[in-house]
Chains A and B, each alone.
Chain A
Amino acid sequence: MIWYIARRIVYLIPTLLIVSMIAFLVIQLPPGDFLASLISKAEETIDQAQVDALRERYGLDEPIYVQYWKWISGIVTRGDFGDSFEWNRPVSDLIWERLGLTMVISLFTLAFVWIVSIPIGIYSAVKKYTIGDYVVTVIGFIGLAIPNFLLALVLMYIAFRYFGQSVGGLFSPDFIDAPWSLDRVLDLLSHLWLPVIILGTAGTAALIRVMRANLLDELSKLYVDAARARGLSELKLLFKYPVRVALNPLVSALAWVFPALVSGSAITSIVLNLQTTGPLLYRSLQAQDMYLAGSLILLVSVLTIIGTLVSDILLAWLDPRIQLQ
């Protein structure tokens, strides 16, 4: 097991290197740069000398590999992700708090999705083709079909109209710029349920279907009959054997959850005015704010890789067949 984990960690290094190159390359691909878009948007003409000074400072005229080297060596050696052109602040100032909040929302959403969908999926598979199964299936498909931002608008209306809650954002107005304190954490928690439900709905619906399909496959396996023939009760049998095996694919799906939570819910986050990384990435790409966009893409990629590693290790621990293969 330890060797397995060590080997996987060693494999991470070249993957991270390649991913960082691709991330940098991608943000260089569109024609023009931040200065070009700044000039085109500016209402007054900008002094050419000023533009040249900026160009000089960020090294925009140097070859791409020099730019890449400057960027990546800064990140690795000093934790310096460069400056955001648009905000005129270091990228690291902008992303860490947002990343923290994103993580909080992500973990709560993930927990919500699993807690809701796994029991419903099990019920739906065990009682297949009953009224209960059909009801759950219909609700599941509706959940899949409704766009998240629409659900966000509806729930925001309900929360404001009937519960009198300040909607949008993760904090009440009093707490937005307040330093961290117990009250601020409680305020965060009281605002969290709305984005968690909205971001989790589609995932819940999808996971119910996955859990149901996985379990249906396992329920008809011979080892279930064999356990039944030993005299095990139906409930113990269900959780010890087929549910246990059916959960494995969900664990491997963890790998996709992390990146999707960082970048996937941009539109919903904009609607809900969440201080997460999604909207930030969206704006930085529009403005060609290359160091900010590059850093975010790099972080998303790193999270994907770490997510894959975590899910692989979990899976190896859950399923003894993995290590041999």
Chain B
Amino acid sequence: MPDDNETLLDVRDLKTHFFTDEGVVKAVDGVNLSLKRGQTLCVVGESGCGKSVTARSILRIVPAPGRIVSGEISFRQRHGDRIDLARMNPRGRDIRNIRGREISMIFQEPMSSLSPVHTIGSQIMEAILLHLPVSKAEARKRAVSLLDLVAIPRASEQLDAYSFELSGGMRQRAMIAIALACEPQLLIADEPTTALDVTTQANILDLIRELQEDSGMSVLFITHDLGVVAEIADEVVVMYLGRDVESGDVDTIFHNPKHPYTRALLQSIPRYDSRAGERLYSLKGTVPHPFYRPAGCPFHPRCDDFIAGQCNANDPQRYNFSAGHSVRCLLYVADDDRSLRDLPT
């Protein structure tokens, strides 16, 4: 476990597998990430790479038949103690005191993450009353000020509104208000803007950033949108098939990417200066079926720099380029004598 005070969340070699009747799906199979106080960490990857399962593993709300098989989720509580969330009973009181109080989460679809038959206010007040020693009247007052905080107009009226009476953007604001009800240290945002249109998306991102500046909370942001990453991230973790393939600060990832997958992702962003008729770069192949995980480096069948006999045989270990910049790729590890190969430029 890290012992510095600045690291709020440190995930080491987390493995979350789903034990289905057809076989074991290794949705998360060795993820490492680390998040400092007050910073924003973006987890990026294609659909099915295990981003959401990683996020849910932290809060211990992985749906059955999934469960954490190994790894460590070290979290520094408000009063300074470090605890390992991975070892907690997912139905126990201890993890419930973390959920909503220390770590909150907002989800991809604001419509379905709010109850269809309860008012916005009742759900905010529920979160407040669960964790803070306040009366119902105080909770209601706090709920109104939370709706004000997330810039929902006519807050005291909207408190009694149902989710279907609000627009998509307003719903996500309401979700954020619920998440912030007890001033958590960490906000996990699982693709919170994916279901929204671009303008609303920008507003929500601005809101999250403002709230973060005011409160000093950390944000774990799950997304597949590299544009969003460039806008809000301090640190980035790129995931592929349940693993972190590259992690580093946002400048390094965008300007000096080392892993072929990261490079391919960046190349597939459409550019303003591309000429008419020029073909958009696209990654070859598709994400493999979860039951047929390629041996060796799981990315090798799609990789442009594939080394036969190496990549399909050996499992790449994490290699640190510099402090905070690590890559899992055999290009950077020696064949036999484990000395560095020539770095491709």
Contact in complex: B61, A229 (CB < 8 Å):
yes
- Is B162 within 8 A of A231, CB to CB? no
Contact A324 B164 (CB under 8 A): yes
Q: Are A230 and B99 also in contact (CB < 8 A) when A222-B107, A320-B162 are?
A: yes
User: Is B100 a contact partner of A226 (Cβ separation < 8 A)?
Assistant: no
Chain B positions within 8 Å of A223 at CB level? 112-116
Instruction: Give Cα A230 to B100, complex, Å.
Output: 4
The answer to whether residues A229 and B100 also contact, given A222-B107, A245-B117, A321-B117 and a CB cut-off of 8 A, is yes
Instruction: State the interface size on chain A (CB cutoff 8 A).
Output: 24
Q: Select from chain B the residue with minimum beta-carbon distance to A244.
A: B117
**A298 CB-CB contact with B under 8 Å:** no
When distances are taken between beta carbons in the complex, the residues of chain A under 8 Å from B59 are: 229
Within 8 A of A (CB), among B99-139: 99-101, 104-105, 107-109, 112-118, 123, 126-127, 130-131
- For B97, the chain A residues whose CB sits under 8 A away are 231
Could you tell me if B162 and A230 are in contact, using CB atoms closer than 8 angstroms?
no
Q: In the assembled complex, how far is the CB of residue A228 from the closest CB belonging to chain B, in whole angstroms?
A: 5
CB pair B117 A319 closer than 8 Å? yes
Q: Which of B61, B101, B117, B178 contacts A228, CB < 8 Å?
A: B61
Tell me which residues across on chain A come within 8 A of B105, comparing CB atoms: 226, 229
Q: Do B117 and A231 have beta carbons less than 8 Å apart?
A: no
Residue in A220, A230, A320, A324 whose CB lies within 8 Å of B117: A320
Within 8 A of B (CB), among A293-325: 318-321, 324
B61 touches A231 (CB 8 A): no
Instruction: Please report the C-alpha to C-alpha distance between residue A228 and residue B100 in the assembled complex, in whole angstroms.
Output: 9
Residue in B closest to A223 when the chains form the complex, CB atoms: B115
Q: A231 and B127 in contact (CB under 8 A), knowing A320-B162, A321-B164? A: yes
Partner of B109, one of A222, A234, A321: A222
Which A199-249 residues sit within 8 Å CB-CB of chain B? Answer: 220-223, 225-234, 240-241, 244-245, 248
Instruction: Name the CB-closest residue of A to B99.
Output: A231
Determine whether the beta carbon of A229 is less than 8 Å from that of B116.
no
Determine the chain A residues whose CB is within 8 A of the CB of B98 once the complex forms: 231
Report the minimal beta-carbon distance from A129 to chain B, rounded to whole angstroms.
10
Nearest CB of chain A from residue B190's CB, rounded to whole Å: 10
Chain B CB within 10 Å, residue with most, of A240, A318, A319 = A240
Choose among B59, B116, B130, B164 the residue with the greatest number of A CB atoms under 10 Å from its CB.
B116
Within residues 199 to 234 of chain B, which ones have a CB less than 8 A from any CB in chain A? none
Whether B338 is near chain A, meaning CB under 8 Å from some CB there, is no
Q: How near does chain A come to B44, taking the closest CB pair, in angstroms?
A: 22
28 contacting pairs across A/B (C-beta < 8 A): A222-B113, A223-B113, A223-B114, A223-B115, A225-B61, A225-B63, A225-B107, A226-B114, A227-B123, A227-B126, A229-B59, A229-B61, A229-B99, A229-B104, A230-B99, A230-B104, A230-B126, A230-B127, A231-B100, A231-B101, A231-B127, A232-B96, A232-B126, A233-B96, A240-B118, A245-B116, A319-B116, A321-B164
* 6 A-B pairs with least C-beta separation: A231-B100, A231-B99, A230-B100, A222-B112, A226-B113, A222-B113
Q: A226-B114, A231-B99, A245-B117 are in contact. List 9 more A-B contacts (CB 8 A).
A: A226-B107, A230-B127, A230-B178, A231-B100, A231-B101, A231-B130, A232-B126, A244-B117, A324-B164
Q: Which residues of A contact B (CB under 8 A)?
A: 220-223, 225-234, 240-241, 244-245, 248, 318-321, 324
